[in-house]
Amino acid sequence: MCGIVGYIGGGSAGAKRIVTDGLKRLEYRGYDSAGIALAVNGRLVVEKAVGRIANLEEILKASPVDSHAGIGHTRWATHGAPSQANAHPHTNADGSIAIVHNGIIENYAELKERLIAEHGVSFRSETDSEIAAHLIGLFYKGDLLAAVREAVREMRGAYSICAMAAAEPDRIVAVRKDAPLIAGIGENCNFLASDIPALLKHARMIYLIENNETVLVTRNDITIFNERMEAVKRDVFHVTWDADAAEKGGYDHFMRKEIFEQPAGIAETLNRRLDEKGEIKLDGISLTKEDLDRIDRIYIVACGTASHAGLVGKFAIERFARIPTETDIASEFRYREPYIDDRTLFVCISQSGETLDTLAALREAKSRGARVLSVVNVVGSSVARESDDVFYTWAGPEIAVASTKAFTTQLVCMYLLALYMGRTRGVLSDAEYARVLSELSQMPDKLTALLEDEPKIRDIAKKVYKNENIFFIGRGSDVSVALEGSLKLKEISYIHSFAIAAGELKHGTIALIEQGSLVIVLASQDRLFEKLLSNIEEVKARGAYVIGLAKAGNREIEKRSDEVIYIPACADEVTPILAVVPLQLLAYHVAKLRGCDIDKPKNLAKAVTVE
């Protein structure tokens, strides 16, 4: 995720080191390029580098310039690939205004056209952010504060922007709308940043900037203005966290932080793909009726958690788009002479976009003539670059090895894709399309409510964390959730666990069920509930301790289980988005009680780039 740092102090030096140090504190969030703008003798000096901040430092070391004021940025690519041109800061035409920006300017295409047509502006990057530099430059009449305010009136979207003007080296102006921004009080200096860790070395007294507020920072003052440009009073927030806790936003672990980021990630993934009328838009992805008529088969291929999202994707595509869909894990797919031709749509799913098995499967599918559409979280990653079309998840960087928010945003992408394909092929009624879309749009709120049940899950974890064998069963799309819950548990708590379709138990695995066996029953599918009841009876009869997970309102499950976890009521088709979350929390709390290294489990890596 992008990061912002701004600094203004006294003398004529210091900004170079302080800003780059601040950027380094944001490295953990993930980035692909970095840059800095310094106010030097009436002009702005901008330096940028692709890759690590160390690359930027090399460039800065070679340059004698320094300043009392500067703004810096780490970029996590959204619009445009990771490159020097797309890295921030961006400047206006004559380089007199520099900005760094986090978030998305949604109407950038429209603004860009206007700037080109009416003002002859020429753009140097593919980013939405560059718009902000040109707009501020156009409105600038010697007052940066006024120019920034005027510019943001033109913009729609979510952003925090930090700006400097060559002619006003003693002021930095920043503005916030739906993207984090803080101002920090230092000793004879002041700061701006997107996140607390960036400032922690120098400032522990901070102002939390709120939406639609603008902040003017000088060496001695920080003034916050509301939307009407009236100065507002803000209480100082004293940061007591250490650097490590600050990086995790006050959470104990990245995994827990990322679990709690899911409502926002899902909302973002949805918002990116819904137009003003609430219809699905697949901008940049070509799936016309003609394209879809040419497709007679879909393969969904991925590894680990992403492959479980693929299983749900298969359900959704076959249910809503009526196209035969196969799923496979990438390491098997590539060696099994798959039946693929130019009428095949190959969908690969990957958080990192760097998983070697997935990449190899993609290449195999391409070489056999398939068209490749990938669902990826990391912009500009290898999978994204080698695909014909990319459907990005907007989960933000996922740092914990155990994948959580990537999974739920992948599910959202698969549902959107399935609904879009069904509608375009004319096999899904308008009413069905609207019903499921409305269910999806309720997910962020339902998930927020569900996360409030964490204490209950923690209590269950206390009862079960000493088990050495845990079974997960379910039917329909609950099988995918069972597989994901089981994977989460084993990878971070090192408990042996096994997931299986409930109806398959009696064909062998039930031999393992004995007095005290722990069985987690996923019972979110109303239409399959009665069938599942007999499976619950089968394991109970052999002495199993049953934890049932069902929709709120299902009282029957209470009679049959030793513990019950409820998820908010929703349509059967979309339950995986909710049902997986208590299992993520259960795995987390069990692992914590067992004293495991949750964010970096043994033997595992975040991106598996070996075969």
The residues that are catalytic are 2, 606
Considering only 6-14, 25-33, 350-358, 497-505, which stretch makes contact with ligand M6R by CB under 6 A?
350-358
Residues 167-196 that bind ligand M6R (CB under 6 A): none
**Nearest approach, Cβ of residue 302 and ligand M6R (Å):** 6
**Nearest approach, Cβ of residue 124 and ligand M6R (Å):** 32
Cα(175)–Cα(190) distance, rounded to whole angstroms? 16
Task: Choose which of 33, 305, 374, 584 interacts with ligand M6R (CB under 6 A).
Answer: 305
Which residue in this structure is represented by tokens 């760097």? 354
Token pair of 139, please? 């409105």
Task: Choose which of 160, 325, 350, 382 interacts with ligand M6R (CB under 6 A).
Answer: 350
**Nearest approach, Cβ of residue 586 and ligand M6R (Å):** 14
Nearest residue (CB) to ligand M6R, 57 versus 491: 491
102 forms part of the interface with ligand M6R (CB under 6 A): no
352 forms part of the interface with ligand M6R (CB under 6 A): yes
Non-local (6+) Cβ contacts of 38 within 8 A are 15, 16, 44, 45, 65, 66, 67, 69, 70
Cα(166)–Cα(564) distance, rounded to whole angstroms? 62
Non-local (6+) Cβ contacts of 548 within 8 A are 521, 523, 536, 557, 558, 560, 561, 563, 564, 565
**What number of chain residues touch ligand M6R (CB under 6 A)?**
17
362 forms part of the interface with ligand M6R (CB under 6 A): no
Cα(80)–Cα(129) distance, rounded to whole angstroms? 11
Structure letter (DSSP) for residue 471 = E
**Nearest approach, Cβ of residue 197 and ligand M6R (Å):** 25
355 forms part of the interface with ligand M6R (CB under 6 A): yes
Task: Convert residues 470-489 into a mask of x (bound to ligand M6R by CB under 6 A) and - (unbound).
Answer: -----------------x--
Nearest residue (CB) to ligand M6R, 340 versus 580: 580
Nearest residue (CB) to ligand M6R, 352 versus 561: 352
| Start-to-end C-alpha separation, the chain | 28
**Nearest approach, Cβ of residue 303 and ligand M6R (Å):** 4
**Nearest approach, Cβ of residue 307 and ligand M6R (Å):** 8
239 forms part of the interface with ligand M6R (CB under 6 A): no
**Nearest approach, Cβ of residue 218 and ligand M6R (Å):** 44
Which residue in this structure is represented by tokens 């940066």? 144
Cα(134)–Cα(92) distance, rounded to whole angstroms? 5
Nearest residue (CB) to ligand M6R, 146 versus 360: 360
Which residue in this structure is represented by tokens 């049940």? 453
Considering only 459-467, 549-557, 576-584, 602-610, which stretch makes contact with ligand M6R by CB under 6 A?
602-610
**Nearest approach, Cβ of residue 77 and ligand M6R (Å):** 16
304 forms part of the interface with ligand M6R (CB under 6 A): yes
309 forms part of the interface with ligand M6R (CB under 6 A): no
Nearest residue (CB) to ligand M6R, 77 versus 138: 77
Within the chain, how many helices (H) and strands (E) appear?
A: 21, 25
- Which of 38, 102, 166 has the alpha carbon at shortest distance from 47? 38
608 forms part of the interface with ligand M6R (CB under 6 A): yes
Non-local (6+) Cβ contacts of 366 within 8 A are 346, 372, 386
CA dihedral 136, 137, 142, 144 (to 10 degrees): 30
262 forms part of the interface with ligand M6R (CB under 6 A): no
Nearest residue (CB) to ligand M6R, 129 versus 358: 358
Residues 365-424 that bind ligand M6R (CB under 6 A): 401-403
Q: Is 525 helix (H, G, I), strand (E, B) or coil?
A: coil
Q: Is 348 helix (H, G, I), strand (E, B) or coil?
A: strand
Using DSSP bridges, classify how beta strands 205-208 and 182-185 pair: parallel, antiparallel or unpaired. Answer: antiparallel
**Residue facing ligand M6R at closest CB distance:** 304
567 forms part of the interface with ligand M6R (CB under 6 A): no
Query: How many Å separate Cα 97 from the centre of its chain?
Result: 31
501 class by beta-carbon count within 10 Å (0-12 exposed, 13-18 middle, 19+ buried)? middle
User: Using an 8 Å Cβ cutoff, are 12 and 66 in contact?
Assistant: yes
Task: Choose which of 269, 327, 344, 358 interacts with ligand M6R (CB under 6 A).
Answer: 358
Task: Choose which of 303, 365, 417, 570 interacts with ligand M6R (CB under 6 A).
Answer: 303
Contacts with ligand M6R by CB under 6 A lie at 303-306, 350-352, 355, 358, 401-403, 487, 491, 604, 607-608
